[in-house]
Structure 1
Amino acid sequence: MSGFLGPLDSDGRVPPGQQTRIAAFLISAYGALARQFAFTLPVRLDAAWQTELNAQFYRETEIVSLLMRATSWAPDFALGYMVASWETAWLPAPIDGISDPRLGQAVHLATLAHAVHAGIRPAALLPIEANAQDPFVMALRRIEFESSRLLQAQILLLKGTDLAPHRDALTAALEQRHAAVRKLWREVQASIGIDAAGSE
Structure 2
Amino acid sequence: MSGFLGPLDSDGRVPRQQQTRVAAFLISAHGALARQFAFALPARFEAAWQTELNAQFYRESEIVSLLMRATSWVPDIALGYMTATWETAWLPAPIEGIADRSLAQAIHLATLAHAVHAGIRPAALLPVEANAQDPFVVALRRIEFESGRLLQAQILYLKGADLLPHRDAVSAALEKRHAAIRKLWRETLESIGIEASRSE
Q: Which TM bucket (shorter chain)? A: over 0.9
Could you tell me which amino acid in structure 1 is paired with residue 127 of structure 2? P
SS of the aligned residue for 1:48 comes to coil
Equivalence for 2:98 = 98
TM-score (norm 1): 0.99
Equivalent residue number for residue 121 of structure 2: 121
Please report the TM-score for the alignment, with normalisation by the length of structure 2. 0.99
Runs of 4+ residues over 4 Å off in structure 1: none
TM-fit CA distance, 1:78: 0.2
Aligned equivalent of 1:197: 197
In 2, distance between residues paired with 1:199 and 1:22? 12
For 2:16, the aligned partner's letter is: P
Measured in 2, the distance between the counterparts of 1:133 and 1:66 equals: 15
Residues 122 and 199 of structure 2 are in contact (CA less than 8 Å); yes or no, is this contact kept in structure 1?
no
1:65-76 aligned within 5 A:
65-76=65-76
Query: 2:42 maps to what in 1?
Result: 42
* Overall identity of the aligned pairs, in %: 82
CA contact (8 A) 2:125 2:198 kept: no
The match for 2:149 is 149
In 2, Cα distance between equivalents of 1:32 and 1:47: 24
Counterpart for residue 2 of structure 1? 2
- Counting only pairs closer than 5 Å after superposition, residues 171-182 of structure 1 correspond to structure 2 as 171-182=171-182
Q: How much does 1:153 deviate?
A: 0.9
In 1, Cα distance between the equivalents of 2:47 and 2:168? 25
Q: Deviations over 1:121-157 (max 9, x none)?
A: 0000000000000000000000000000000111001
> Which amino acid in the other structure matches residue 154 of structure 1?
Q
1:2·1:198 contact (CA, 8 Å) conserved in 2?
no
DSSP 3-state at the match of 2:42: coil
Q: Aligned residue for 1:138?
A: 138
User: Structure 1 CA distance, aligned partners of 2:109 and 2:198?
Assistant: 30
Unaligned runs of 5+ in 1: none
Distance 1:43 1:183, change over 3 A: same
- Paired positions, count: 200
Q: CA deviation at 1:199?
A: 4.0
**Gaps spanning 5+ residues in structure 2: where?**
none
Query: Does 1:184 pair with 2:195?
Result: no
Q: Which amino acid aligns with 2:60?
A: E
SS of the residue 1:110 aligns to: helix
Give me the CA root mean square deviation.
0.6
**Is 1:64–2:64 an aligned residue pair?**
yes
Specify the alignment match of 1:160 in structure 2: 160
For residues 73 and 197 of structure 1, the distance between their equivalents in structure 2, rounded to whole angstroms, comes to 25
Deviations 1:94-121 (A, max 9, x none): 1001101100000000000000000000
Report the CA distance between 1:198 and its aligned residue. 3.8
